[in-house]
């Protein structure tokens, strides 16, 4: 399967390498670096070299390059590489170059346990934490003094179970299960406010703290919304195909149950609107007046609002007055950034003022795009609704059951 793994920083330097089946020279990464230099934002996920296949993912300013000698299912390797990054983020809070260098010992211990002779072995975070304790200051000092490592001498209980992703013998005083639906919508909106294109990427994160070996069934009011889905290995796929039910024995603790995609064919109600007027006349200063407000938010607050305008090349400077937040203008990239924050419906955020242009400019394109980012808590823009959650296999009485929507919505819109 995987012979070697290389982690490359944004500068093209291999700062970590791990070998399993055979030692592969890091010079093989030159094929990946050549592809990255040719198209930094469109690197092929699979690169064929004379002796190896390179399968790559790029996340958090680092790239993971897996070298495989034989043909393998590419998506299988790609999923494993993403699982490696997710594990690093769970252990260290980040997956940057500096964080990995500060935790070299734990990183190599994790890679040793996650892959056995090139094949995935233990990839669930809750199982790994039984075997390799997450780093902390006291444990690091104790290991330095005693010469011990973070690796436990006891085999994780999940490795001896038919359900490899769940610990056996779990007992809780308070049995709880939380499900968070998180959606991101990418949309393009024209000047009149009509949606030209919109698609939604979403996922369901869980925190399960249930005793024993519970068997859960989660159903939706409108499961036909999903155009494409990706499940945690615990989900019984055949039952989803037949009944559109999520039937699974959950891992213990935090995990991602499923990811989904909703295409532009579905009707997406964009929860904000933008009114803007940008005009430039030849030989004169321009004027900018922009207002942003909520729409179809069901009373929810729009938070963490940020706008970016790519101004025409003829613009020299912007002298603006925002009634909320702060703005900056980069004269090199001609980008106007406005950090709005939270939208108050009683006083909508507005920014207005004059724009200086290069003298003698005749051909002026006064139609810049506006990129907007924002978040809305407790609102699923896709309209996804949970029907019910049932538990089997354990005699745990539910004393309280209610649906608490806690999704966040992050959107990027473009006005022309």
For residue 389, pLDDT over 60 is answered with yes
What's the alpha-carbon Rg for the chain, to the nearest Å?
26
Which residue did the predictor score with more confidence, 406 or 134? 134
| CATH dotted code for 272-377 | 2.60.40.1170
Mean pLDDT of 367-376: 83
Which tokens go with 361?
Answer: 């400019």
Give CA 267 to chain center in angstroms: 23
For residue 294, pLDDT over 70 is answered with yes
Q: Which fold has domain 4-160?
A: Beta-Lactamase (3.30.450)
Please identify which residue in the block is written with the tokens 């925002």.
322
Torsion angle defined by CA atoms of residues 109, 110, 114 and 115, in that order, rounded to the nearest 10 degrees: -40
Residue pair 29/49 in contact (Cβ under 8 Å)? The answer is: no
Mean pLDDT of 257-272: 80
Contacts (Cβ under 8 Å, ≥6 apart) of 25: none
d(CA 88, CA 7): 13
Q: Which fold has domain 176-267+400-406?
A: Immunoglobulin-like (2.60.40)
Q: Is 412 helix (H, G, I), strand (E, B) or coil?
A: strand
* HSE-CB of 314 using CA atoms within 13 angstroms: 21
pLDDT at 410: 43
d(CA 174, CA 154): 27
d(CA 255, CA 342): 30
Confidence of residue 287 (pLDDT cuts 50, 70, 90): confident
Confidence of residue 267 (pLDDT cuts 50, 70, 90): low
272-377 matches 176-267+400-406 in CATH topology: yes
Mean pLDDT of 17-27: 91
pLDDT at 152: 60
Which tokens go with 154?
Answer: 């006891």
Closest alpha carbon to 381 in 284, 270, 305, 282: 270
Considering the chain, what is the average pLDDT of its residues? Answer: 83
Which tokens go with 369?
Answer: 């795009």
d(CA 210, CA 252): 7
Mean pLDDT of 242-268: 86
Residue pair 26/14 in contact (Cβ under 8 Å)? The answer is: yes
Residue pair 361/390 in contact (Cβ under 8 Å)? The answer is: no
For residue 400, pLDDT over 60 is answered with no
pLDDT at 62: 93
Q: What is the DSSP string of 353-399?
A: EEEEE-TT--S------EEEEEEEET--TT---EEEEEEESS----S
pLDDT at 409: 41
Which residue did the predictor score with more confidence, 413 or 77? 77
Mean pLDDT of 60-79: 91
pLDDT at 137: 59
Q: Is the pTM of this model over 0.95?
A: no
| Residue ranges of domains in the chain | 4-160, 176-267+400-406, 272-377
pLDDT at 399: 57
Going through 221-369 in order, the beta strands assigned E by DSSP cover 228-231, 245-248, 253-262, 272-279, 286-294, 302-310, 315-322, 326-330, 335-341, 350-357
């Amino acid at each position: 399967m995987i012979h070697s793994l290389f982690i490359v920083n944004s500068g093209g330097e291999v700062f970590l390498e791990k070998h399993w089946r055979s030692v592969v020279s890091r010079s093989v990464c030159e094929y990946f670096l050549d592809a990255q230099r040719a198209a930094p934002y469109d690197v092929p996920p699979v690169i064929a070299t004379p002796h190896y296949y390179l399968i790559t993912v790029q996340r958090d300013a680092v790239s993971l390059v897996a070298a495989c000698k034989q043909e393998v299912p590419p998506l299988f390797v790609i999923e494993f590489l993403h699982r490696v990054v997710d594990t690093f983020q769970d252990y260290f809070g980040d997956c940057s170059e500096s964080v990995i260098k500060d935790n070299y010992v734990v990183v190599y211990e994790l890679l040793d346990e996650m892959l056995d002779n090139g094949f995935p072995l233990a990839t669930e975070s809750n199982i790994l934490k039984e075997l390799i304790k997450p780093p902390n200051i006291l444990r690091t000092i104790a290991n330095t003094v005693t010469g011990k490592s973070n690796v436990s001498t006891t085999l994780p209980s999940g490795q001896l179970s038919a359900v490899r992703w769940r610990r056996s013998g779990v007992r809780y005083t308070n049995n709880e299960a939380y499900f968070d639906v998180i959606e991101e919508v990418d949309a393009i909106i024209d000047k009149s406010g009509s949606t030209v294109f919109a698609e939604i990427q979403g996922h369901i994160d869980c925190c399960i703290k249930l005793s024993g070996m519970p068997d859960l069934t989660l159903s939706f009011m409108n499961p036909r919304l999903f155009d494409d889905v990706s499940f945690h290995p615990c989900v019984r796929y055949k039952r989803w195909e037949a009944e559109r039910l999520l039937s699974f024995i959950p891992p213990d603790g935090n995990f991602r149950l499923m990811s989904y995609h909703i295409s532009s064919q579905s009707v997406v109600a964009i929860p904000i609107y933008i009114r803007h007027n940008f005009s430039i006349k030849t030989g004169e200063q321009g004027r900018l007046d922009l207002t942003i407000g909520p729409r179809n938010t069901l009373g929810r607050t729009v938070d963490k609002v940020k706008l970016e305008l790519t101004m025409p090349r003829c613009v020299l400077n912007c002298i603006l007055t925002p009634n909320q937040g702060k703005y900056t203008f980069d004269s090199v990239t001609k980008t106007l950034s406005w950090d709005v924050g939270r939208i108050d419906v009683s006083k909508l955020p507005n920014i207005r003022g004059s724009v200086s242009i290069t003298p003698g400019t005749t051909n002026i394109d006064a139609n810049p795009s506006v990129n907007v980012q924002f978040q809305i808590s407790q609102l699923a823009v896709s309209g996804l609704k949970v029907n019910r959650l049932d538990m089997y296999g354990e005699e745990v009485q539910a004393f309280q059951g209610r649906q608490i929507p806690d999704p966040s919505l992050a959107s990027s819109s473009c006005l022309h």
